[in-house]
């Protein structure tokens, strides 16, 4: 019978300073290849790369042009709406009857 410290499970308690839980996630092939390449380049485990990416602060949240690029493919994707809702939203909402009292 082997000693617990001789197997990898015994080493995990020393390697991770806090309790870690396992999570299974399905990722697109392109992202998996990117994570694997970074893992090989840095010589660290793929789970370490993923953990670091998840803990990284969102740097682009305050940059309007980056935020816009994240939703650029959605702009204009709904038919029948004005090209710029912010310019005439009250007029548009009034024409749709939004906010009017409904008959009960």
Q: What's the confidence (pLDDT) of residue 66?
A: 75
Q: What is the pTM of this model?
A: 0.44
In a domain, 88, yes or no: no
In a domain, 92, yes or no: no
Q: What mean pLDDT value characterizes the chain? A: 77
Q: What's the confidence (pLDDT) of residue 2?
A: 46
In a domain, 62, yes or no: yes
Q: List Cβ neighbours of 38 (8 Å cut-off, separation of 6 or more).
A: 49
Alpha carbon distance 66, 85 (integer Å): 21
In a domain, 7, yes or no: no
To the nearest 10°, the Cα dihedral for 22, 27, 31, 34?
40
For 6-57, the pLDDT digits (tens) are: 555 555 555 666 788 888 989 999 999 999 999 999 999 999 999 998 888 7
Q: Which domain holds residue 46?
A: 24-71
Domain count, the chain: 1
For 60-84, the pLDDT digits (tens) are: 566 777 777 878 787 767 777 666 7
């Amino acid at each position: 019978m082997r000693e617990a410290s001789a197997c990898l499970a015994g080493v995990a308690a020393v390697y991770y300073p806090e309790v870690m839980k396992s999570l299974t996630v399905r990722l697109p092939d392109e992202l998996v290849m990117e994570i694997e390449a970074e893992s090989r380049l840095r010589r660290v485990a793929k789970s370490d790369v993923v953990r670091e990416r998840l803990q990284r602060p969102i740097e682009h949240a305050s940059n309007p042009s980056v935020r816009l690029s994240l939703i650029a493919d959605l702009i204009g994707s709904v038919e029948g709406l004005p090209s710029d809702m912010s310019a005439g939203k009250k007029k548009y909402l009034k024409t749709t009857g939004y906010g009017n009292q409904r008959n009960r």
